[in-house]
Amino acid sequence: MEPEVQGVGIISLIIGLTELAKQLGFPNRLLPVLSIALGIIGGLITQQDTVSAVIVGLMMGTSAAGLYRSFKVTALGR
């Protein structure tokens, strides 16, 4: 599978895991940090080079946090 396609799937997974953590009582103020950490883990899984893995992971984590926030503001009006 192409790395770009894997990234989209991992971003969706990060959003889902972040929401699960929120439902289990994880502090709201730390959710973006959790998203970024999960993104870095995802980057390490999908990339061969460590530097690329961290960069891609940061992009996936921040993308997931931004998508989650955008959905929350737009759909839920919060």
The string of pLDDT tens digits covering residues 7-34 is 678 888 998 999 999 999 999 889 989 9
> What 3 state SS string does 54-69 have?
HHHHHHHHHHHHHHHH
Who contacts 19 (Cβ-Cβ below 8 Å, separation ≥6)? 68
Distance CA 32, CA 5 (A): 23
Distance CA 18, CA 36 (A): 10
Average pLDDT over residues 31-53: 89
In this structure, the dihedral spanned by the alpha carbons of residues 65, 68, 69 and 75, taken in order and rounded to 10 degrees, is 170
The string of pLDDT tens digits covering residues 51-62 is 988 988 888 888
Domain coordinates of the chain in residue numbers? 3-76
Please report the pLDDT score of residue 71 as a whole number. Answer: 67
Statement: residue 5 has pLDDT above 80: no
Please report the pLDDT score of residue 34 as a whole number. Answer: 93
